Chains A and B, each alone.
Chain A
Amino acid sequence: MTLIPENLKYSKTHEWVRVENDVAVIGITDHAQSELGDVVYLSLPEVGRILKYDEPFGEVESVKAVSELYSPLSGEVIEVNTTIIDSTEVVNEDPYGRGWLIKVRMSDPSELDKLMDADAYAKHCEGS
Chain B
Amino acid sequence: MNQTLCRTPLYEAHLKQGARLIPFAGWEMPLSYKSILEEAKSVRSHAGIFDISHMGRLRIAGKGTVSILQLLTTNDIEALSVGKAHYSLLTNPQGGIKDDIIIYRTGENEFLVVVNASNTSKVIAWIESFLPQTEEELHIENITPYTAMVALQGPKAQAVLEAVLGTPDLIGLERFSHRTITFKEDETSAELLCCRTGYTGEDGFELIFSQEYAPLVWNVLLNAGATPCGLGARDTLRIEAGYPLYGHEIDESISPVEAGLMWAVKLDKGNFIGRDVILEAKRLGPKRRLMGLLMHGRALPRQGYTIYHENREVGVVTSGTFSPLREASIAMGFLNTEVARPYTKVEIEIRGQRHEATVVPKKELLQKPHAEEKS
Residues of A at the B interface (CB closer than 8 Å) are: 37-38, 40-43, 59, 61, 63-64, 66, 85-86, 88-89, 92
Q: How far is the CA of A51 from the CA of B322 in the complex (A)?
A: 30
Q: Among the interface residues A41, A59, A66, A88, which one has the most CB atoms of the partner chain B within 10 A?
A: A41
- A37 with B36, Cβ < 8 A, contacts A63-B236, A64-B31, A64-B232 known: yes
- A38 with B351, Cβ < 8 A, contacts A61-B299, A64-B232 known: no
A-B contact pairs, 17 of them (CB 8 A): A37-B32, A38-B36, A40-B298, A40-B322, A41-B298, A41-B299, A41-B300, A42-B298, A43-B299, A63-B37, A63-B300, A63-B321, A66-B300, A66-B351, A86-B298, A88-B298, A89-B37
| Interface flag for B35 (CB, 8 Å) | yes
Contact in complex: A37, B35 (CB < 8 Å): yes
Of residues 19 through 57 on chain B, the ones whose CB sits less than 8 Å from some CB of chain A are 20, 31-32, 35-38
Nearest chain A CB to B14 CB, angstrom units: 16
Nearest chain A CB to B49 CB, angstrom units: 20
Q: How far is the CA of A88 from the CA of B321 in the complex (A)?
A: 15
Interface string of B288-308 (1 = CB under 8 A from A): 000000000111100000000
| Interface flag for B65 (CB, 8 Å) | no
| Interface flag for B329 (CB, 8 Å) | yes
Q: Among the interface residues A63, A85, A86, which one has the most CB atoms of the partner chain B within 10 A?
A: A63
Contact in complex: A63, B351 (CB < 8 Å): no
Contact in complex: B329, A40 (CB < 8 Å): yes
Q: How far is the CA of A43 from the CA of B329 in the complex (A)?
A: 14
Q: How many A-B residue pairs have CB under 8 A?
A: 45
Nearest chain A CB to B204 CB, angstrom units: 21
Nearest chain B CB to A112 CB, angstrom units: 30
Interface string of B318-343 (1 = CB under 8 A from A): 00011000010100000000000000
Name the 10 nearest CB pairs between A and B, nearest first. A40-B322, A41-B298, A38-B37, A63-B36, A41-B299, A38-B36, A38-B35, A63-B322, A61-B300, A40-B298
Besides A42-B298, A63-B300, A64-B31, 5 other A-B contacts (C-beta < 8 A): A40-B322, A41-B300, A61-B300, A63-B236, A86-B327
Nearest chain A CB to B44 CB, angstrom units: 15
Q: How far is the CA of A92 from the CA of B34 in the complex (A)?
A: 11
Q: How far is the CA of A63 from the CA of B324 in the complex (A)?
A: 11
Smallest Cβ-Cβ distance to B31: which chain A residue: A64
Q: How far is the CA of A86 from the CA of B299 in the complex (A)?
A: 11
Q: How far is the CA of A92 from the CA of B327 in the complex (A)?
A: 16
Nearest chain B CB to A110 CB, angstrom units: 33
Nearest chain B CB to A95 CB, angstrom units: 14
Nearest chain B CB to A125 CB, angstrom units: 16
- List chain B residues, Cβ under 8 A from A38: 35-38, 322
Q: How far is the CA of A40 from the CA of B329 in the complex (A)?
A: 8
Nearest chain B CB to A103 CB, angstrom units: 22
- List chain A residues, Cβ under 8 A from B35: 37-38, 92
- List chain B residues, Cβ under 8 A from A89: 37
Interface string of B173-198 (1 = CB under 8 A from A): 00000000000000000000000000
Interface string of B136-151 (1 = CB under 8 A from A): 0000000000000000
Q: How far is the CA of A122 from the CA of B154 in the complex (A)?
A: 40
- A40 with B300, Cβ < 8 A, contacts A63-B236, A63-B321 known: yes
Q: How far is the CA of A92 from the CA of B36 in the complex (A)?
A: 12
- List chain B residues, Cβ under 8 A from A61: 298-300
Nearest chain A CB to B359 CB, angstrom units: 21
- List chain A residues, Cβ under 8 A from B20: 37
Q: How far is the CA of A43 from the CA of B297 in the complex (A)?
A: 11
Nearest chain B CB to A48 CB, angstrom units: 20
Q: How far is the CA of A97 from the CA of B276 in the complex (A)?
A: 63
Q: How far is the CA of A42 from the CA of B300 in the complex (A)?
A: 10
Smallest Cβ-Cβ distance to A61: which chain B residue: B300
Q: How far is the CA of A85 from the CA of B31 in the complex (A)?
A: 25
Contact in complex: B298, A37 (CB < 8 Å): no
Nearest chain B CB to A117 CB, angstrom units: 28
Of residues 211 through 232 on chain B, the ones whose CB sits less than 8 Å from some CB of chain A are 232
Smallest Cβ-Cβ distance to B322: which chain A residue: A40
Q: Among the interface residues A38, A59, A86, A92, which one has the most CB atoms of the partner chain B within 10 A?
A: A38
